[in-house]
Structure 1
Amino acid sequence: MAEMLQNILPVYLIFFSGLILRWTHVLSQTDGERMLKFIFYFTLPALVLKTLSGIQLIPALFWLPFASAVIILLSGILAYYSSRLSGLSASKSGVLLTSSMIMNIGFTIPFVHAVWGEKGLGYLFMFDFSNGIMAYSVVYYIACRHGEDAGNSGKIYKKVFTSPPIWALLIALTLNISNIQLPHALLSFLDFSGQMTIPLFLIALSLFFAPSFSDFRDLLTGISLRMGFGFLLGLLMIAILPLDPLAKIILITGASSPVGFNTLTFASLEKLDTRYAANLVSFSILLGMVLVPLLLLFWR
C-alpha cells in the first residue's frame, strides 16, 4: 500500500500545482484549452505510438479488448437513452455519451503497477486496446456530432479520419504485427514527447477544475454510467469469459475506472459543455482514488 501511495503521489502534486498556478492567475482556462489541443495533436500520438508499437500481443489475452469493446458499446447505448429521457442539451448530451464510453485507463496504471508489476501492465494495455481505438474513432465521432459542426457530416468524417491519435494507433499496430523496430533515436523522441501527456493533462484538468453541485443529477448520472454500470458489466464479463485470475482483476479495474481525460479534450475541441466535462472527470477521479486501490487490494 505504501508503494502504491508513493507511485500516485506525483499525480496529486502536479494537480495541486496546477490549482496554485490558476489561483495565482499565472494560468487560466484558456491556457488549459491550448494544452488539451497540444496534447491531442502532438504528445498523445507520440505516447500511443511509443507504447503500442512495443506491446507483446498475446493471443490468449484477446478476450480483454473484446470485453472492453462490449462494455464501451453497452455503456454508450444506456447513456444515449439516459440523455434522451433527461432532455439534456446537445452540448451536455455529447459529454454524457463520451464520458460513459471513455475509460480512464491511464489513471489506473500506477495502481496496477504498484500491485501487479509489469505483468499487470501487460494485461492492462491489452484491455485498453479497444478503449483507445474506439475513443479516437467512434467516441470522437459522437463528440463531433454533438459539437459545433454537427450538421456538417463531411467535416466530421474529415476530423475523425485525420485524427492524429487514430493514425498513431494504426501505425503502431502495423509496426507491432510486422515486428518492425523503430530507430532508437525516434523511440527516444517519442518517449520524451509522450511523457509530457499526463502532466499536461493534470495541469489542464486543474485549470478547468471547479467542482459544482449545481447540476448534481446530471453529474450523478454520468459517474454512475461510467463507474457503476461499468463495474456491473465487468462482473458480467468475468462471469462468462474464460479469463485467468489476473485478467479478471484487470477487467474489473478497467471497467470501473473514472471518466477519461479525453472527455474534456473532446469537449474543448468540439465546443461542448466543458464545465460539465471537467466536473465529471474531476469527481470521478476523486472517487477513483478510493475505489481503484480497494478493487485491486480486495481481489488480490
Structure 2
Amino acid sequence: MTKIILNAVSFLLTILLAFFLKKMGVLKQTDGERVSKIVIFTTLPATIIVSLNAFQITSTVWILMSLGLIFNLLLIFVGYLLGRKKSTVERGFYMFNIGGYNLGNFAIPFVSSFFPLAIPFIAMFDMGNSFMVAGTTQAIVETTAQQKKHGFDLRDPLRILLKSPPFVVYLVMIILAIFKIKIPTEVLAPFTFISHANSFLSLFMIGLFMQISFKKSGLAVIGRVLVYRYLFAGILASFVYFCLPFEHLVKIVLVLVLLTPISFLTTIQATQFGVDEGEAGFASSLSMIISLVLMSAVVIFL
C-alpha cells in the first residue's frame, strides 16, 4: 500500500512540477508540444514494442479491441441523452467528455509501475478507443448537432491513426504476434532503454498542458460533465469486474482504463465544436487529478 501511495504522489508531483515551472515562466505550453512529440515519436512507441514483444494473441485480445469501440459508442449515446434538452454546445461537451480515454499518456505510465504485464491489454483496448477519439466521435457529435463540418468518413480517422506512430506500432506488433515473431533481446535493448523515460515525460507533458482558467458560469457544466463521466465509468467498471468472465488481471486493467482522464484529442475537438477552451481544458486537467486518486484506490483495494 505504501508503494502505491508513493507512486501516486510521485505521479502528482511530476505533473505539478511541470505546471509550476510553466507558471513561473521557466517553461511554456509550447514546450509541452515539443515534449509531446518526443513521447509520441520515441518513448511511447518504444514502450509498446517492449511490452508487446512475444505477446500471444488470444480471443481476449479481440474482445478488448471491441470493448474499446463499444464503450466509447455507448457513452457518446449516454452523453446525447443527458444533453438532449441542453444547448447544442453543452450537449456536445457531454458527448465528447463522458467517454474517450487518455491511455497512451496516462494509463500506460500509471499501470506499468504496478502491472507491467498488463500493458498489452491496455494496448488492445486502445486500438478501439483510438479509432473513436481520432475523429469518429467528432463526426458523430457534429452529425447529431447538424453541424457537418467534417461529416462521417471512415477514411478520416484511419488517416489520422495511420499517421500516429503509437497506432502504427500497435499494428506492427500485432502482426508480429499473429505470426509468432519475437524481436531478439539484442535488438530490443535500445527500445527498453528509451521506454524507461516514457512515464516521466508523459506526466511532465500533462503538467505543461494543464489549465486552470475558466469562466465561473461554466463551473456548473464542468461539474456535471465530470460527475456523469465518473458515475458511468463506475457503472461500467462494476459491470466489467463482476459480470465479464476475464481473468483477474484483465478485469483490473479494464477497471483502471475506464477511470482514466479525458482524452487530449476529444478536448481539442470539443473546443473546435464551440466549447469554451478554458472550460474544456480545466475539465480535462481536473479529470487527471480525479483519475489519479480513483485509479490508486483501485490498485489498493482490488
Q: CA deviation at 1:289?
A: 3.0
Percent identity over the alignment? 23
> Measured at CA, do residues 97 and 269 of structure 1 come closer, stay the same or move farther in structure 2, by a change above 3 Å?
closer
Residue correspondence of structure 1 range 274-293 to structure 2 within 5 A: 275-293=278-296
Q: Does 1:100 align with 2:94?
A: no
Structure 2 residue aligned with 1:53: 53
Q: Hey, what's the Cα distance between the residues in 2 that align with 1:176 and 1:35?
A: 30
Can you list the C-alpha shifts for 1:239-268, whole angstroms capped at 9, x where unaligned?
Answer: 432234554444333323333455557779
Structure 2 residue aligned with 1:87: 87
Q: CA deviation at 1:88?
A: 4.6
Q: Hey, what's the Cα distance between the residues in 1 that align with 2:133 and 2:234?
A: 20
Q: Hey, what's the Cα distance between the residues in 1 that align with 2:74 and 2:44?
A: 26
- CA contact under 8 A between 1:94 and 1:143: conserved in structure 2? no
Structure 2 residue aligned with 1:36: 36
Q: CA deviation at 1:28?
A: 1.2
Q: Hey, what's the Cα distance between the residues in 2 that align with 1:42 and 1:143?
A: 27
Q: Tell me, which stretches of 5 or more residues in structure 1 are unaligned?
A: none
Amino acid in structure 2 at the alignment position of 1:100 = G
Query: Comparing 48-57 with 263-272, which one deviates more in the overlay?
Result: 263-272
Amino acid in structure 1 at the alignment position of 2:15 = F
Structure 1 residue aligned with 2:223: 220
> Measured at CA, do residues 178 and 124 of structure 1 come closer, stay the same or move farther in structure 2, by a change above 3 Å?
same
Amino acid in structure 2 at the alignment position of 1:50 = V
Q: Hey, what's the Cα distance between the residues in 1 that align with 2:261 and 2:5?
A: 18
What is the RMSD of the two structures over their aligned residues, measured on CA atoms?
3.9
Q: Hey, what's the Cα distance between the residues in 1 that align with 2:110 and 2:48?
A: 20
Structure 2 residue aligned with 1:158: 159
Amino acid in structure 1 at the alignment position of 2:290 = L
Can you list the C-alpha shifts for 1:133-160, whole angstroms capped at 9, x where unaligned?
Answer: 123322202366489x944867665334
Q: TM-score, normalised by structure 1?
A: 0.75
Structure 1 residue aligned with 2:117: 122
> Measured at CA, do residues 211 and 50 of structure 1 come closer, stay the same or move farther in structure 2, by a change above 3 Å?
same
Q: TM-score, normalised by structure 2?
A: 0.75
- CA contact under 8 A between 2:35 and 2:201: conserved in structure 1? yes
Aligned length: 292
Q: CA deviation at 1:230?
A: 1.6
Q: Hey, what's the Cα distance between the residues in 2 that align with 1:79 and 1:21?
A: 36
Q: Hey, what's the Cα distance between the residues in 2 that align with 1:95 and 1:36?
A: 26
Residue correspondence of structure 1 range 264-283 to structure 2 within 5 A: 275-283=278-286
> Measured at CA, do residues 54 and 284 of structure 1 come closer, stay the same or move farther in structure 2, by a change above 3 Å?
farther
Q: Does 1:14 align with 2:8?
A: no
Q: Tell me, which stretches of 5 or more residues in structure 2 are unaligned?
A: 143-147
Q: CA deviation at 1:113?
A: 6.7
Q: Does 1:252 align with 2:255?
A: yes
Can you list the C-alpha shifts for 1:175-220, whole angstroms capped at 9, x where unaligned?
Answer: 1222222244542333333444332332232223233463223323
Amino acid in structure 1 at the alignment position of 2:192 = D
- CA contact under 8 A between 1:36 and 1:265: conserved in structure 2? no
> What is the SS of the residue equivalent to 1:101?
coil
Q: Hey, what's the Cα distance between the residues in 1 that align with 2:55 and 2:40?
A: 22
Q: Does 1:138 align with 2:118?
A: no
> Measured at CA, do residues 164 and 297 of structure 1 come closer, stay the same or move farther in structure 2, by a change above 3 Å?
closer
Q: Hey, what's the Cα distance between the residues in 2 that align with 1:193 and 1:15?
A: 20
Amino acid in structure 2 at the alignment position of 1:3 = K
Q: CA deviation at 1:274?
A: 5.4
> Measured at CA, do residues 169 and 113 of structure 1 come closer, stay the same or move farther in structure 2, by a change above 3 Å?
closer
Q: Hey, what's the Cα distance between the residues in 1 that align with 2:166 and 2:277?
A: 21
Q: CA deviation at 1:170?
A: 0.6
Structure 2 residue aligned with 1:231: 234
- CA contact under 8 A between 2:69 and 2:132: conserved in structure 1? no
Q: Hey, what's the Cα distance between the residues in 2 that align with 1:62 and 1:77?
A: 23
> Measured at CA, do residues 249 and 43 of structure 1 come closer, stay the same or move farther in structure 2, by a change above 3 Å?
closer
Moved over 6 A (4+): 265-273
